[in-house]
Structure 1
């Protein structure tokens, strides 16, 4: 009976997530928000009935990591690198990096005043909250026009990558700044090289393998690449991003590596299966994240106060970055910087030695929920009549948001 109910629960999560994805387009609420609140509602019902299933301790980190890999890969597979898109890539990357540095510095100051803890521990807790979650931002960006959607994809993906690299640099062994920067540059450089080689290998395999099962081994090959990169202390998200960009921009490889006539069809199959996997993993992660949160913990006043301050700092600092660095209007992009999957993963990776006594764990979930609501507000504020909320611009304003793909 337990196995039967488990099958029912798994099936219902996927089907309800699909319903949320379909319904969210009409009510203009991101599906991730509905999934989070569904998990919280399930936990409330479970506690009321006295039914408390034990979730494996490593389930969320493993599921989240797998989801992060797929989300970055899916985002990269949707991007075309052209000369016209170069300014957009540079601006979104600068916005991501500067945003992380400013928010991390501000939160480090806030936590230093709030808690009596060493600087390294404070920075380890500040860095995850400074990173934009591509797992939440990219699906919600489907409501934007192509140029702004690409901006969100690049910014959130770069934010994930830079945030992970900086986080592990913070929790690593403290040494002279020069040696730390040199080690960091070496890790990133080697990651770029490995990512390009892996991308070329998969590009070659897509055109050579004729077995009826082809795409699935390649996806798990990319997850294997991520795992090995993590073990070797590289920057594995950079590898995943480069693999996706290379596969979707084979025209940059030149005539010597010209793709076969069936390459685009095979690449399309690769994209579709990646999207299906991403949808399933993301659905399970956010439902389980909500379910793993005890509703009583969310009532702590200290957690609410800290969460409000964190979100306020993030929003206040994002406005000038968008205006001065990205050269974009604050609306609607200011709301497309949610915290989510990557924030949880990095928090779970903080070593016990760098833990902060008295840090309200519920504040993390409250920050995620607040950002989810802000993201919902941003999606709802998009004005369809101006073309801002459509996949394609309104014909009456054909040059308002030119596509750069």
Structure 2
């Protein structure tokens, strides 16, 4: 294969980022998720690559690296959005409950469906495959709910953020229970596992939390005193380093990123008592604001290339499979049925359009590609993944468009029937009639 022109690659990458920006603007006006446009762009690129003879390129290593960075950026971005304020504790608690129950119930039902319909799918593997399919996509939801009422918008931001975090934790808990595959030439006398159960995982989490708190306080205190202008990407490099080292030590590394994000987003809460005198709030706030911008920008770029490459790697032929359609539709139906029950219990009767705002997206794909080799099920069709992502995104789009039309119609009705008014007049006192004397 002849060498690819580097300037051509720069042109292509630049055009993809520019198109992604315009897709985002179109998404704001039409409520069509930009994710779908990026996937379609990837499919078009795949057709072009096939036409010029580059259709067999292996994009998986790039996808894997983008996936790791994407997970870190999404968790960090979500943590930076969580303001742990006293007046929001009720809303946060409600969103957390809905996200947790929705995740567990959806994963359980999806696992039953996958185990029944897919040959070779064990209960453990079914739960592992079902978890990514049960996680809400904050990357799609947060930009899509900007036009909703304040309390509904706030609910979706919190719920999708918690769904991302809890779903990732559940996924890595399940992977920690997988049997270890012996290396070539080695044998295992007994079946070994990467974990020893729930207590071992809980201990792992507690150790990670302690390490994360120590590291987070240290990072804030050190970086607030760095005077160099080049420190935000240095900070991200430190987080990436801690994440990678944590992975090598079999710690729940994403908790490190999560706790750091929560700490720097809620510094007044975490720096109390004697710790307050160590914090230079103005300098630390400047780091938070800059980090927030860098995280959003980085997440945008990673998300753009990830979904385009995902579109390049998928097989559209799998969408035409009857089995794929049946499994996908059953899982989609279960998602909204479970969501309806949970929202009616915890939110009440006003559950539109919240009921239909449950798209799957970046986290779903990232975790799917993070499934360990020893847990891979050859009979699982990746088309199920694409079908559910497209299906839930389109349902959310239709619901948001309908809600926007309903709101616009109500505003026009009110505007066409303005409240009348009359000029105010001071009241007059009527004199009592004077009786004539007899």
TM-score (norm 1): 0.87
Is 1:104 the counterpart of 2:107 in the alignment?
A: yes
Is 1:134 the counterpart of 2:134 in the alignment?
A: no
1:89 to 92, 98, 102: 92
Instruction: Note the C-alpha offset of 1:327.
Output: 5.0
Alpha-carbon distance in structure 2 between the residues aligned to 1:289 and 1:102:
28
Instruction: Note the C-alpha offset of 1:194.
Output: 2.4
Instruction: Note the C-alpha offset of 1:49.
Output: 5.3
Is 1:274 the counterpart of 2:295 in the alignment?
A: yes
**Which 10-residue stretch deviates more, 44-53 or 25-34?**
44-53
Q: Deviations over 1:105-152 (max 9, x none)?
A: 111221222134322222222222122233333333334344333333
Alpha-carbon distance in structure 1 between the residues aligned to 2:234 and 2:9:
27
Alpha-carbon distance in structure 1 between the residues aligned to 2:150 and 2:26:
22
The answer to whether the 8 Å contact 1:71/1:278 transfers is yes
Alpha-carbon distance in structure 1 between the residues aligned to 2:234 and 2:151:
33
> Residue 53 and residue 183 in structure 1: after superposition, are their counterparts in 2 closer, same or farther (change >3 A)?
same
1:284 to 305, 311, 318: 305
> Residue 126 and residue 262 in structure 1: after superposition, are their counterparts in 2 closer, same or farther (change >3 A)?
closer
The answer to whether the 8 Å contact 1:297/1:362 transfers is yes
The equivalent of 1:355 in structure 2 is 376
Alpha-carbon distance in structure 1 between the residues aligned to 2:169 and 2:82:
23
The answer to whether the 8 Å contact 1:112/1:122 transfers is yes
- 3-state SS of paired residue (2:171): helix
The answer to whether the 8 Å contact 2:59/2:313 transfers is no
State the superposition RMSD in angstroms: 2.8
> Residue 232 and residue 96 in structure 1: after superposition, are their counterparts in 2 closer, same or farther (change >3 A)?
farther
> Residue 52 and residue 143 in structure 1: after superposition, are their counterparts in 2 closer, same or farther (change >3 A)?
farther
Instruction: Note the C-alpha offset of 1:10.
Output: 0.7
Computing the radius of gyration over CA atoms, which structure comes out larger, 1 or 2?
2
Alpha-carbon distance in structure 2 between the residues aligned to 1:161 and 1:32:
20
The answer to whether the 8 Å contact 2:117/2:327 transfers is no
1:75 to 69, 78, 94: 78
Alpha-carbon distance in structure 2 between the residues aligned to 1:297 and 1:49:
23
Is 1:163 the counterpart of 2:167 in the alignment?
A: yes
The equivalent of 2:424 in structure 1 is none
Instruction: Note the C-alpha offset of 1:384.
Output: 7.4
1:367 to 384, 388, 402: 388
Q: Deviations over 1:29-88 (max 9, x none)?
A: 222222122222332344455542613322112202211211221222223211111111
The equivalent of 1:148 in structure 2 is 152
2:322 to 269, 291, 301: 301
Q: Deviations over 1:326-361 (max 9, x none)?
A: 557322222332222222222223334333342222
Q: Deviations over 1:259-297 (max 9, x none)?
A: 343433332222111111111111111111112112223
The equivalent of 2:188 in structure 1 is none
The equivalent of 1:199 in structure 2 is 216
The answer to which structure, 1 or 2, has the higher relative contact order (CA under 8 A, 6+ apart) is: 1
Unpaired runs of 5+ in structure 1?
388-405
Instruction: Note the C-alpha offset of 1:211.
Output: 1.0
Alpha-carbon distance in structure 2 between the residues aligned to 1:259 and 1:141:
35
Alpha-carbon distance in structure 1 between the residues aligned to 2:137 and 2:33:
14
1:226 to 236, 240, 243: 243
Is 1:239 the counterpart of 2:260 in the alignment?
A: no
Alpha-carbon distance in structure 2 between the residues aligned to 1:328 and 1:87:
18
Alpha-carbon distance in structure 2 between the residues aligned to 1:267 and 1:75:
13
Instruction: Note the C-alpha offset of 1:258.
Output: 3.8
The equivalent of 1:256 in structure 2 is 277
Q: How many aligned positions are there?
A: 389
Alpha-carbon distance in structure 1 between the residues aligned to 2:237 and 2:356:
33
The answer to whether the 8 Å contact 1:73/1:241 transfers is yes
> Residue 56 and residue 306 in structure 1: after superposition, are their counterparts in 2 closer, same or farther (change >3 A)?
same
Q: Deviations over 1:290-314 (max 9, x none)?
A: 1211222322222122111111111
The answer to whether the 8 Å contact 2:353/2:399 transfers is yes
The equivalent of 1:181 in structure 2 is 198
